Amino acid sequence: MKNFLKPKLVFLFVMLFSIPLIVKGPGPPPPPPKKGKVLTIPIDGGIGILLAAGAIYGIKKLYSFKKKVN
């Protein structure tokens, strides 16, 4: 009985909380950019964080691999 009821409860929970978000729709459009200003999106911070996380993960894997071999 639990295996039958649990997926239905999860589906009902997701539907109850996602339908109001779908019905609301998108917000108003952003204001047009001012003359002489170019709209830019900074990507440097995110790339730096991803590179640092990748380096830390690689060092951890290398350390655990060396520890397992010895």
Q: In total, how many domains does the chain have?
A: 1
Q: Tell me if 62 is assigned to some domain.
A: yes
Predicted TM-score of the model (pTM): 0.39
Rounded Cα distance between 54 and 20, Å, is: 38
pLDDT in tens, 16-63: 888 777 777 778 888 877 777 676 777 777 788 899 999 999 999 999
Banded model confidence at residue 69, pLDDT cuts 50, 70, 90: confident
Q: Tell me if 17 is assigned to some domain.
A: no
Give me the pLDDT at residue 2, please: 63
Q: Tell me if 13 is assigned to some domain.
A: no
Rounded Cα distance between 48 and 55, Å, is: 11
Range of the domain at 56: 38-70
Give me the pLDDT at residue 56, please: 96
Give me the pLDDT at residue 37, please: 67
